[in-house]
Amino acid sequence: MVAPLRLGIAGLGTVGAGVLRLLAAEPGLIAARAGRPILPVAVSARERNRNRDVDLSGLAWEDDPVALARREDVDVFVELIGGENGHARAAIEAAIAAGKDVVTANKALLAHHGQMLAEAAEARGRTIRFEAAVAGGIPVIKALGEGLAANRISRVMGVMNGTCNYILTRMEATGLPYATVFEEARGLGYLEADPRLDVDGIDAGHKLALLAALAFGTRVDFEAVDLEGIGRIAIEDIRHAADMGYRIKLLGVARMTESGLEQRMSPCLVPSGSPLGQLEGGTNMVVLEGSGVGQIVLRGPGAGGGPTASAVLADVIDLARGHRGAVFGQPATTLARAVPTPSAVPAPYYLRLGLRDRPGALAQVAAALGDAGVSIDRMRQREHQADVAPVLIVTHPTPPEAVADALGRIGRTGITVGETVSIRIEKV
Amino acid sequence: MVAPLRLGIAGLGTVGAGVLRLLAAEPGLIAARAGRPILPVAVSARERNRNRDVDLSGLAWEDDPVALARREDVDVFVELIGGENGHARAAIEAAIAAGKDVVTANKALLAHHGQMLAEAAEARGRTIRFEAAVAGGIPVIKALGEGLAANRISRVMGVMNGTCNYILTRMEATGLPYATVFEEARGLGYLEADPRLDVDGIDAGHKLALLAALAFGTRVDFEAVDLEGIGRIAIEDIRHAADMGYRIKLLGVARMTESGLEQRMSPCLVPSGSPLGQLEGGTNMVVLEGSGVGQIVLRGPGAGGGPTASAVLADVIDLARGHRGAVFGQPATTLARAVPTPSAVPAPYYLRLGLRDRPGALAQVAAALGDAGVSIDRMRQREHQADVAPVLIVTHPTPPEAVADALGRIGRTGITVGETVSIRIEKV
């Protein structure tokens, strides 16, 4: 038998423990597929004596992940600490400097420092693999970077934050407002320690930035992702959207346009019957569109110890097989700097406004829309409550700037109460 | 720049032309991702002068695909001829003997001779890659063999023949019977020259046998696939199934059980709202279930020049990157011989029978079911037409042999007209 591939694993949370559990469950199967045994030799974590329900006997312990990354007996450094700087970054830099391959689930770190780390690793003939960083157990990095490698990619879309999707589907199912469901999710431990990472779309934005780099051969540029969270989504909008055949999803879209790279992560309406529209709870979905293949849809668990460990070990097995590859699909030094561009692609929009009970009020709204060049596909006015009637509008495809113009004009009529809500309807 | 990887392409039908077109469209992009240029150098096809709408200038022509496979200037032999024997097999054997890697879209050939060919290739340090052989553009071989390599796979399912799915969804949409839609599909050129390959489930069975080998580390065993085509599906069953919330799909299921490997390709009812139930027309879907990851669903175009060429070139790019790998995920000589086993897993069944208009007739059917140990979940009796009433039954989960027993008992009552239809309802 060939020599084993020896792992140093930093971070023994759900994912780290999941990796050890999966390796312990099927060592023979994994060795047969990898062509050599995969052997964890050393681990590191904050708390040594926490019960993790995995057998750590026979594994060396390092208090310092940097020391773990430098160990002579470690071939591949598996970083499962998390966080865009701190220990995770220091340990990965140490592993690269020591000439080791790295496998990580750390989207934040790669979204911020991916280019620099990829260049450093590739300069030493090493690589960083990150299947587990995007969409949990779905092998989307592999599908995009290898399976669709012959395609010019036109668009990448995805629902990639299970917590947000849980909150939105739970709001729909229960009729409870965002704040209540948010607290419920927090109580269930579904939210990151800093919940803004989830609900402000930051975590999903990190993932989108990584997919965009791979899809378009560009340097990862998280700063350019147009981010909007789910905090402003009202239960009324979820209900009205459902009535009109839509569901609201925190949807990421990356598209290469003539003016540059568009990256946005924001709540969108998608048709209820579409694959994205049917996504429940923590399930993730990624849609890939390429010149040869057309559209591919991948669906699976977006988080959790088992699925994420499956992705981590897929990378490890590839390394054991000698399949190294460039971090972002082509040498990092050849990745282009994309010109960030705001979305200018016309789309239908969902608008909700509160109309005062005045003669001619609706006509004023219609005129404001017309003046902004926005044409109406469908409109519904609901019964008045306390002098205000909700009006729901689905527009024909409209450039985003025309929608912004229309919202300004509507506001200036003075016949609406509160802010007019606008949510893009994404064609999927 | 590294030396180009030189391709010899045998077969210039839709897929072969698609490969040349995709290479010509994006040579720089593909070279950047592959780490070296991918260069077609020679081709072979039956008709030299057919217009294929691709530029063949600069490519050597071989009338004999075996001569193409042996050419000194070919690194990778791309077999797109098709057929389980004949030219395709001879050329692949010649390529392997000449020490070349092979990329093929030929499911029939691999389903019948995959073990022998894999052993021959691996004995020479070469490999055969076949992403394009299963589910067209969906990178399912990669997802299963690499992306899920750390998982013990429990079940693989899929709708993998677009023509059958087209016929079934078209029957449902138009209310036309099988024979009419079959002729329509033939007129549109959707059927293989021998249409039994499609409608008898043979083509989809080939694909399932390949997935099973990869999933379970077993020798590909197409002969053991329990095959049933779509020819007996009546328009009434499609309608009744729809009324009860189901759609009929030609569904492949491979599962490793305690008694051995179950492989079947047969019409099944699936819930209309499930991902499989929503599949329209020629789209394919594969569901993979693993110990770590849970369930992954992949969806995309199952055929066509562009999608299949995308899969062929993904394999070529992997070879260019030096990612060779074992044909079936682990060395062919280590693949186990699976014990084929018929499906014994209980499932709900849909039954349709024509009941004579006699007092106590329904009671006799109910008694026959009860005597066979089959319990009824839902039953509907429709109005009589010419002394016969259609009765529709959905059973509780029942072992297949109990269903067979029940059908025998029902037949012996003499109160039914025609054969009782039974179709398994697959949990998806």
A310 with B151: Cβ contact below 8 A: yes
Q: What average pLDDT does the segment A356-378 reach? A: 94
Residue B381 belongs to some domain of the structure = yes
Torsion on CA atoms B340, B344, B347, B353, rounded to nearest 10 = 100
Tell whether the model's pLDDT for residue A382 goes beyond 90: no
Q: Residue A328's closest chain B neighbor by CA?
A: B33
Spell out the residues 6+ positions from residue B251 whose beta carbon is closer than 8 angstroms to its own: B157, B158, B159, B265, B266, B267, B268, B270, B276, B426
In chain A, the N- to C-terminal Cα span, in Å, equals 49
Q: What is the pTM of this model?
A: 0.96
A29 with B217: Cβ contact below 8 A: yes
Round the average pLDDT of chain A to a whole number and report it: 95
B150 with A296: Cβ contact below 8 A: no
Check if the beta carbon of residue A97 is closer than 8 Å to that of residue B256.
no
Determine the 3-state secondary structure of B25 from DSSP: helix
Interface membership of B16 toward A (CB under 8 Å): no
Q: Give the residue numbers of A annotated as catalytic, written as ranges.
A: 207
Q: How far apart are CA B269 and CA A191, in angstroms?
A: 38
Question: Which positions in chain B touch A1 (Cβ < 8 Å)?
Answer: none
Question: Which positions in chain B touch A325 (Cβ < 8 Å)?
Answer: 321, 323
* Residue where a domain stops, chosen among B109, B133, B157: B133
Pairs of CB atoms within 8 A across A/B: 203
Per-residue pLDDT tens digits for B111-159: 999 999 999 999 999 999 999 999 999 999 999 999 999 999 999 999 9
B18 with A292: Cβ contact below 8 A: yes
Q: How far apart are CA A419 and CA A203, in angstroms?
A: 28
**Rg (alpha carbons) of chain B, rounded to whole number:** 24
Question: Which positions in chain B touch A29 (Cβ < 8 Å)?
Answer: 152, 217
Q: Residue A132's closest chain B neighbor by CA?
A: B147
Per-residue pLDDT tens digits for A185-239: 999 988 988 999 999 999 999 999 999 999 999 999 999 999 999 999 999 999 9
Tokens of A379: 């409109």
Q: How far apart are CA B111 and CA A219, in angstroms?
A: 42
Say yes or no: B232 and B161 in one domain: yes
Strand order in the sheet with A128-129: A60-61, A38-44, A5-10, A76-79, A101-104, A128-129
Q: How far apart are CA A365 and CA A227, in angstroms?
A: 29
What pLDDT was estimated at residue B300? 97
What pLDDT was estimated at residue B322? 95
Tell whether the model's pLDDT for residue A327 goes beyond 80: yes
Say yes or no: B25 and B123 in one domain: yes
Tokens of A96: 């690269």
Q: How far apart are CA A198 and CA A230, in angstroms?
A: 9
Determine the residue among B1, B26, B33, B278 to mutate to test chain A binding: the one whose Cβ has the most chain A Cβ atoms within 10 Å. B33
Check if the beta carbon of residue A154 is closer than 8 Å to that of residue A289.
yes
Domain count along chain B: 3
Determine the 3-state secondary structure of A18 from DSSP: helix
Q: Residue B291's closest chain A neighbor by CA?
A: A306
Is there a catalytic annotation at residue B207? yes
B301 with A307: Cβ contact below 8 A: no
Secondary-structure percent of chain B, ordered helix, strand, coil, rounded to 5? 40, 25, 35
Check if the beta carbon of residue B148 is closer than 8 Å to that of residue B288.
yes
Closest to B161 (Cα-Cα) out of B207, B193, B194: B207
Report which DSSP code applies to A149.
T
Residue-level length of chain B: 428
Band of the pLDDT at B108, cuts 50, 70, 90?
A: very high
Interface membership of A131 toward B (CB under 8 Å): yes
Check if the beta carbon of residue A4 is closer than 8 Å to that of residue A37.
yes
Say yes or no: B378 and B274 in one domain: no
Interface membership of B147 toward A (CB under 8 Å): yes
Band of the pLDDT at B385, cuts 50, 70, 90?
A: confident
Question: Which positions in chain A touch B278 (Cβ < 8 Å)?
Answer: 273, 275, 278
CA distance A251 to chain B (A): 19
Tell whether the model's pLDDT for residue A133 goes beyond 70: yes
Interface membership of A310 toward B (CB under 8 Å): yes
CA distance B286 to chain A (A): 10
Tell whether the model's pLDDT for residue A392 goes beyond 80: yes
Report which DSSP code applies to B398.
B
Per-residue pLDDT tens digits for B168-197: 999 999 999 999 999 999 999 889 889 999
Task: Find how far residue A383's CA is from the centre of its chain.
Answer: 39
What pLDDT was estimated at residue B2? 85
Q: Looking at chain B from residue 181 to 220, which residues have their Cβ under 8 Å from any Cβ of chain A?
A: 217
CA distance B329 to chain A (A): 6
B314 with A18: Cβ contact below 8 A: no
Per-residue pLDDT tens digits for A264-290: 999 999 999 888 999 988 899 999 999
Determine the residue among B146, B317, B333 to mutate to test chain A binding: the one whose Cβ has the most chain A Cβ atoms within 10 Å. B146
Interface membership of A307 toward B (CB under 8 Å): yes
Q: How far apart are CA B37 and CA B24, in angstroms?
A: 11
B292 with A307: Cβ contact below 8 A: yes
CATH number, domain containing residue A115: 3.40.50.720
Q: How far apart are CA A207 and CA A386, in angstroms?
A: 44
Tell whether the model's pLDDT for residue A1 goes beyond 70: no
Catalytic residue among B142, B207, B249, B427: B207
Q: Residue A302's closest chain B neighbor by CA?
A: B293
Per-residue pLDDT tens digits for B210-240: 999 999 999 999 999 999 999 999 999 999 9
Question: Which positions in chain A touch B18 (Cβ < 8 Å)?
Answer: 292
Strand pairing category for B349-356 and B294-301: unpaired
A147 with B143: Cβ contact below 8 A: yes
Say yes or no: B147 and B292 in one domain: yes
Cβ atoms within 10 Å, residue B406? 25
Determine the residue among A26, A140, A148 to mutate to test chain B binding: the one whose Cβ has the most chain B Cβ atoms within 10 Å. A148
Tell whether the model's pLDDT for residue B60 goes beyond 70: yes
Tokens of B247: 């759609």
* Residue where a domain stops, chosen among B301, B322, B341: B301
Domain holding B366, by residue range, is 349-424
Check if the beta carbon of residue B171 is closer than 8 Å to that of residue B239.
no
Task: Find how far residue B107's CA is from the centre of its chain.
Answer: 9
Strand pairing category for A226-227 and A294-301: unpaired
Band of the pLDDT at B302, cuts 50, 70, 90?
A: very high
Interface membership of A20 toward B (CB under 8 Å): no
Interface membership of B22 toward A (CB under 8 Å): yes
Cβ atoms within 10 Å, residue B232? 12
In chain B, the N- to C-terminal Cα span, in Å, equals 49
Question: Which positions in chain B touch A146 (Cβ < 8 Å)?
Answer: 139, 142, 314, 317-318, 323
Interface membership of A134 toward B (CB under 8 Å): no
Q: How far apart are CA B279 and CA B272, in angstroms?
A: 9
Q: How far apart are CA A115 and CA A110, in angstroms?
A: 8
Band of the pLDDT at B421, cuts 50, 70, 90?
A: very high
Q: How far apart are CA B98 and CA B193, in angstroms?
A: 32
Q: Residue A295's closest chain B neighbor by CA?
A: B300
Question: Which positions in chain B touch A322 (Cβ < 8 Å)?
Answer: 322-323
Q: B221-231 burial by CB neighbour count: b if 16+ within 10 A, else e?
A: bbebbbbbbbe
Interface membership of A46 toward B (CB under 8 Å): no
Interface membership of A37 toward B (CB under 8 Å): no
B39-53, B96-110, B139-153, B303-317: range with lowest mean pLDDT: B39-53
What pLDDT was estimated at residue A52? 87
Say yes or no: A24 and A88 in one domain: yes
Q: B349-372 burial by CB neighbour count: b if 16+ within 10 A, else e?
A: bbbbbbbeeeeebeebbeebbeeb
What pLDDT was estimated at residue B49? 85
Q: What is the DSSP string of A217-278?
A: TB---GGG-EE--STT--HHHHHHHHHTTEEEEEEEEEEEETTEEEEEEEEEEEETTSTTTT
B314 with A34: Cβ contact below 8 A: no
Residue B339 belongs to some domain of the structure = no
Residue A116 belongs to some domain of the structure = yes
Distances (CA, A) of A32 to A201, A321, B174, B203, B328: 40, 11, 50, 29, 11
Check if the beta carbon of residue B118 is closer than 8 Å to that of residue B145.
no
Question: Which positions in chain A touch B299 (Cβ < 8 Å)?
Answer: 275, 296-299
Check if the beta carbon of residue B365 is closer than 8 Å to that of residue B416.
yes
Say yes or no: B106 and B159 in one domain: no
Residue B378 belongs to some domain of the structure = yes
Angle at A18 between CA A12 and CA A22, to 5 degrees: 135
pLDDT above 90 covers what percent of chain B?
91
Which residue has 């329209």 as its token pair? B280
Residue B82 belongs to some domain of the structure = yes
Residue-level length of chain A: 428
Interface membership of A326 toward B (CB under 8 Å): yes
Say yes or no: B162 and B260 in one domain: yes
Question: Which positions in chain B touch A329 (Cβ < 8 Å)?
Answer: 33
CATH number, domain containing residue A365: 3.30.70.260
Interface membership of A259 toward B (CB under 8 Å): no
Residue A171 belongs to some domain of the structure = yes
Check if the beta carbon of residue B411 is closer than 8 Å to that of residue B420.
yes
φ and ψ of A339, to 5 deg: -85, 115
Say yes or no: A14 and A127 in one domain: yes
Question: Which positions in chain A touch B148 (Cβ < 8 Å)?
Answer: 139, 310, 314
Say yes or no: A287 and A358 in one domain: no
Say yes or no: B147 and B117 in one domain: no
Determine the residue among A39, A138, A146 to mutate to test chain B binding: the one whose Cβ has the most chain B Cβ atoms within 10 Å. A146
Tell whether the model's pLDDT for residue B1 goes beyond 80: no
Say yes or no: A161 and A282 in one domain: yes
Spell out the residues 6+ positions from residue A363 whose beta carbon is closer than 8 angstroms to its own: none
Angle at A387 between CA A384 and CA A393, to 5 degrees: 50
Residue A179 belongs to some domain of the structure = yes
Q: B11-28 burial by CB neighbour count: b if 16+ within 10 A, else e?
A: bbbbbbbbbbbbbeebee
Q: How far apart are CA B350 and CA B357, in angstroms?
A: 22
Distances (CA, A) of A170 to A139, A181, A235: 27, 7, 10
What pLDDT was estimated at residue A372? 97
Say yes or no: B364 and B382 in one domain: yes
Determine the 3-state secondary structure of B101 from DSSP: strand
B294 with A300: Cβ contact below 8 A: yes
Residue B313 belongs to some domain of the structure = no
Determine the 3-state secondary structure of A417 from DSSP: strand
* Residue where a domain stops, chosen among A273, A300, A327: A300
Going along A277-426, which residue ranges are E strands? 283-290, 294-301, 349-356, 376-381, 388-395, 416-424
CATH number, domain containing residue B247: 3.30.360.10
Interface membership of B271 toward A (CB under 8 Å): no
Check if the beta carbon of residue B230 is closer than 8 Å to that of residue B199.
yes
